[in-house]
């Protein structure tokens, strides 16, 4: 395709894959009412750029509704509300926490400026959600998807991946100086950022690892009391604004 077209997700959640194949890994999800630009097509697949975070990947074309530029701009200009319960039935569709709507039904408006308390309030609603690589719903979520959904509901749009999110905010140098709502980032043995969580009070952290859970946080990293060991190596703490 030479010309960019636009689409809106009309299903509860649609898999975004790294390649145009059902066998390719799911790298993210497009939620109901989220819009995108369609930049290429290949058979039953469309390569999209998600409007709110710029994420690219492949989706099955029939799982979206194509819209013209005027409708796209109208959707983006509308005030957005976000589903504020784990799961709701909205016009026959089961939508999960953080799904954008254009009306305040089963949903809340996000603050005009980032509010850490709102982020934490919604993070608690996802406790126990199973981990799913690329997931952004209560049916399955990954660490950066979890943080992104909670931050967006609190008035701040973050990039999709932890390796991108670490570039946001101001540095906090010690765990003891961290405040609830700060983000903590963790690296692998190669020094790459591979995990992120939301700092809570009393040196705790809520994050998606196996499931959304609360663990202890210290200057070494995350200590999992169930496993009786540190599971993630702390690299940075950032304060959002």
Q: What are the catalytic residues? A: 143, 195, 207
184 DSSP 8-state letter: E
Residues in contact with 177: Cβ distance below 8 Å, sequence separation at least 6, in sequence order: none
Phi-psi region of 228 (alpha: psi -120 to 50; beta: other; left: phi over 0): left
Q: Which contiguous run of DSSP H or E holds residue 82?
A: strand 81-83
Q: Write the CA distances from 96 to 16, 86, 127, 138, integer angstroms.
A: 17, 5, 13, 6
Structure tokens at 49: 């750029």
Q: Print burial letters for 183-208: b (CB count within 10 Å at least 16), e (below 16).
A: bbbbbeeeeebbbbbbbbeeeebbbb
| Spatial distance between the Cα atoms of 179 and 187, rounded to a whole number of angstroms | 21
* Three-state secondary structure call for residue 144: helix
The C-alpha angle 29, 34, 35, rounded to 5 degrees, equals 110
| Spatial distance between the Cα atoms of 223 and 229, rounded to a whole number of angstroms | 6
């Amino acid at each position: 395709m030479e010309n960019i077209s636009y689409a809106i997700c009309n299903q509860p959640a649609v898999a975004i894959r790294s390649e145009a194949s059902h066998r390719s890994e799911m790298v993210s999800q497009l939620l109901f009412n989220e819009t995108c630009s369609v930049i290429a097509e290949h058979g039953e697949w469309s390569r999209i750029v998600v409007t709110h975070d710029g994420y690219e990947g492949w989706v099955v074309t029939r799982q979206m509704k194509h819209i013209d530029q005027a409708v796209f701009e109208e959707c983006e200009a509308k005030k957005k509300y976000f589903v504020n319960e784990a799961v709701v039935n909205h016009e026959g569709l089961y939508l999960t926490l953080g799904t954008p709507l254009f009306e305040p039904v089963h949903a809340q408006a996000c603050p005009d400026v980032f509010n850490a308390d709102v982020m934490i309030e919604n993070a608690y609603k996802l406790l126990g959600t199973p981990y799913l690589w690329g997931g952004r719903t209560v049916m399955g979520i990954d660490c950066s998807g979890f943080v992104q959904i909670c931050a967006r509901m609190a008035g701040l749009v973050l990039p999709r991946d932890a390796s991108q999110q670490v570039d946001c905010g101001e540095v906090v140098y010690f765990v003891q100086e961290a405040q609830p709502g700060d983000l903590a980032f963790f690296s692998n043995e190669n020094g790459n950022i591979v995990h992120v969580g939301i700092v809570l009070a009393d040196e705790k952290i809520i994050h998606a690892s196996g499931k959304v859970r609360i663990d202890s946080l210290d200057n070494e990293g995350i200590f999992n009391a169930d496993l009786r060991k540190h599971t993630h190596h702390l690299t940075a703490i950032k304060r959002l604004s």
